[in-house]
């Protein structure tokens, strides 16, 4: 390689060979050199990200994998799904559960029920900031049960089975943090009163649980109880000032009580903290419309539609199941 330092194919084969030998530091160097040759190809960044993952450099790994997606990795569906899988588990690890949940969609499109995917779903449902390889032994069975309850009935088109599975889990693990919240989320569409009960039960077990508070706020708004929701929304922002959904919930409560200017400020903060969530742009567009700010409303509506379109199901005939990360 010293004779032909600009030979991209050579760096590719050297890097993949080193990776397969578990020599991740050396492989990383080879892929880094490749990335300087193929600057517009995301594949080298993806492989760099996978090396960083194996070296336990998780924030850098996530950054590289997301960059690889932005640049594009061609039509290698195995690479695409492997990268997405690692992004999911790294988002779980960093506590970005809502984004991780959205990223699980491609696995549902192909009906993937492999153990790595079920583990990732279970970790997400229970909001555990761990990698699949680091699940505590005493939580392993619960994670798999929560993953199957969240995943398999939905894939089969039997949401009532998911409700029954979560009901049984909350009876088996009545004081498990985040389990009542997970059950409540699944009750929202069919039985909002029972969902509210589960969210309140979650707060009894886990008073610092922010998303249960947010769900209670949103339920109250849906029921036309904006004045009752507002104090809880303000309290939630104080508890979680850097969480985008806390500001979103407060913004929506303020908008519902006619405090449009204050609502816009909170919804702007929500978008600034997490610009990749389409619903945040939609809510901000609604607030701008209420204030008569038509150009800004149109801009946010366009951003909402752009993000929504990027999440549309791609045309993929067969996608190999992702493999679990190496031990």
pLDDT in tens, 152-161: 877 767 888 8
Rounded CA separation 42/23 (Å): 21
Query: Over pLDDT 90: what percentage of the chain?
Result: 73
Q: Examine the pLDDT at 13 and tell me if it is beyond 50.
A: yes
Residue 316 reports pLDDT greater than 60: no
Q: How much helix, strand and coil, in percent to the nearest 5, is found in the chain?
A: 70, 0, 30
**What's the start-to-end Cα distance of the chain, in Å?**
30
Q: Each residue of 127-161: pLDDT tens digit?
A: 999 999 999 999 999 999 999 999 987 776 788 88
254 close to 262: Cβ distance less than 8 angstroms: yes
Residue whose token pair is 């850098």: 60
Higher local confidence (pLDDT), 70 or 237: 237
Backbone angles phi, psi at 290, to 5 degrees: -65, -30
Beta strands in the chain (DSSP E): none
Percent of the chain clearing pLDDT 70 (strictly above): 91
DSSP state of 181: H
pLDDT single digits (tens) 285-310: 999 999 999 999 999 999 999 988 87
User: What is the predicted pLDDT for the residue at 203?
Assistant: 95
Q: What is the dihedral of CA 131, 133, 137, 142, to 10 degrees?
A: 60
Reduced to 3 states (helix: H, G, I; strand: E, B; else coil), residue 320 is coil
Is 182's pLDDT higher than 90?
yes
Q: At what angle do helices 8-20 and 43-54 cross, to 10 degrees?
A: 30
Q: Tell me, what's the pLDDT at 97?
A: 93
Host H or E run for residue 306? helix 294-310
Q: Average pLDDT of 227-235?
A: 96
Q: Over the Cα atoms of the chain, what is R_g?
A: 22
Q: pTM of the predicted model, to two decimals? A: 0.83
**Mean pLDDT across the stretch 20-30?**
92
Confidence of residue 6 (pLDDT cuts 50, 70, 90): low
* Banded model confidence at residue 3, pLDDT cuts 50, 70, 90: very low
Rounded alpha-carbon distances, angstroms, from residue 133 to 36, 93, 103: 32, 11, 19
| pLDDT single digits (tens) 85-117 | 999 999 999 999 988 998 999 999 889 999 999
Average pLDDT over the chain, rounded to an integer: 89
Location of structure tokens 């996978």: 50
Tokens linked to 130: 């761990």
Per-residue confidence band for 321, with pLDDT thresholds at 50, 70 and 90:
very low
Q: What are phi and psi of 76, to 5 degrees?
A: -75, 95
The number of angstroms, rounded, from the C-alpha of 20 to the middle of its chain's C-alpha atoms is 29
Q: Which pLDDT score, from 0 to 100, does residue 311 have?
A: 67
Contact of 146 with 125, CB cutoff 8 Å: yes
């Amino acid at each position: 390689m010293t004779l032909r330092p600009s030979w991209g194919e050579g760096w590719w084969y050297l890097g993949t060979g080193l990776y397969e030998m578990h020599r991740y530091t050396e492989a990383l160097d080879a892929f880094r050199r490749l990335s300087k040759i193929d600057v517009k190809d995301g594949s080298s960044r993806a492989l760099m990200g996978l090396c960083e993952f194996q070296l336990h450099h998780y924030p850098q790994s996530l950054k590289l994998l997301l960059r690889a997606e932005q640049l594009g990795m061609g039509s290698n569906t195995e690479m695409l799904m492997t990268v997405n899988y690692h992004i999911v588990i790294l988002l779980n690890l960093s506590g970005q559960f809502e984004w991780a949940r959205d990223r699980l969609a491609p696995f549902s499109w192909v009906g993937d029920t492999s153990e790595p995917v079920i583990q990732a779903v279970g970790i997400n449902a229970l909001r555990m900031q761990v990698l699949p390889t680091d699940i505590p032994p005493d939580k392993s069975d619960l994670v798999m049960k929560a993953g199957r309850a969240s995943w398999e009935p939905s894939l089969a088109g039997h949401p009532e089975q998911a409700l029954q599975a979560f009901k049984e889990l909350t009876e088996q693990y009545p004081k498990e943090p985040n389990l009542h919240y997970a059950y409540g989320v699944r009750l929202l569409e069919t039985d909002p009163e029972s969902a509210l009960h589960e969210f309140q039960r979650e707060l009894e077990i886990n008073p610092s649980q922010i998303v249960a508070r947010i769900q209670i706020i949103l339920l109250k708004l849906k029921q036309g109880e904006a004045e009752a929701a507002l104090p809880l929304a303000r309290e939630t922002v104080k508890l979680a000032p850097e969480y985008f959904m806390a500001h979103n919930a407060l913004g929506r409560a303020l908008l519902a009580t006619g405090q449009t200017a204050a609502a816009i400020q909170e919804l702007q903060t929500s978008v600034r903290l997490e610009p990749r969530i389409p619903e945040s742009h939609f809510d901000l567009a609604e607030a701008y419309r209420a204030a008569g700010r038509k150009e800004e409303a149109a801009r946010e509506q366009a951003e909402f539609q752009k993000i929504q379109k990027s999440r549309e199901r791609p045309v993929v005939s067969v996608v190999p199941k992702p493999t679990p990360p190496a031990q």
